[in-house]
Every structure is written in C-alpha cells, then in structure tokens.
Amino acid sequence: SQSLFIHIQACQKKWESVEAAKHPKERRPLPPPPPGLQAGMLPIEPHDIDEFNAAMYAYWDKQSLVPCGICGRTFRPDAFEHHRNACTPSNPGGPLGMPKGGAPRPGSRAGPTAPVGPRSVPGGNGAAPAPR
C-alpha cells in the first residue's frame, strides 16, 4: 500500500534530522532506497509479503545498524556507543556475554529475542531444581 512509501519518506526525514544533530565528521549519508522497491510493485500473496518483509528488514539492518567488530552484533548508533565501552576481545558481548551457541557471524543479528535459562521459564527463579 501507499503507506509504505509514506513510511519511507518519514524515515528519511528522521534520519536526516538525527544526522544533522551530529558533529559533521560523525554524520552518515542517507541510505539509498531499498532496491526493487517501486510504486505498484508491492507483493500481494502472503508468502511473497513475508519474503519482501524479510528482504526489507535485512536491507535496513545492513544499511542502518552499526556492526560490532568484536562480537558481530548490530546496534543503532546510539546503542553502539554504550556497547563498545563494554564489549572487549576478552569479554565479547559485554558483561552479559554472548548468546547461547557462541559468537554470530559478523553482520548477522545475534542471539535469541528472549533470555535463555531458568529465569526465562515461567515460575523459574534461577535456582537449581529441587531433588525428587
């Protein structure tokens, strides 16, 4: 729908506003519009919509987020400033460490969306289970 094109224009305006507030040496140029995005060429079928959304998200991730050279996670520029103070080669991912399963590939989105472990289980308190 046309709301996507309105959304893109609003995002471009916000990007330019945020970048204008930065020191000139720190400003990033406006990313180009996503490739293949043309008026009237939006998908209609559910499967095509899912593929389109995944491609647009991957494009946004690559163009807008800042990758950490140590752990490979990606961040908004303001969040990266905080992360890079905590992430070190001897402690990748910072004080919370890396997501279960090890380090992700650089440029990929890292880790689960929810914590993993006893506290993430309903009723879990982080303690070992009681003996039976």
Query: What's the angle, vertex CA 89, arms to CA 83 and CA 92, rounded to 5?
Result: 50
Tell me how far apart the terminal alpha carbons of the chain are, to the nearest angstrom. 58
Cα–Cα distance for residue pair 27/18, rounded to 1 Å: 9
Does 78 score more than 80 pLDDT?
yes
- Which amino acid appears at position 53 of this protein? N
Q: Which stretches within the chain are classed as H helix?
A: 2-20, 46-64, 77-86
Average pLDDT, the chain: 73
> What is the DSSP secondary structure assignment for residue 88, as one 8-state letter?
B
Comparison of pLDDT for 90 and 37, the residue scoring more: 90
Residue 49 confidence (pLDDT): 85
> What is the DSSP secondary structure assignment for residue 110, as one 8-state letter?
P
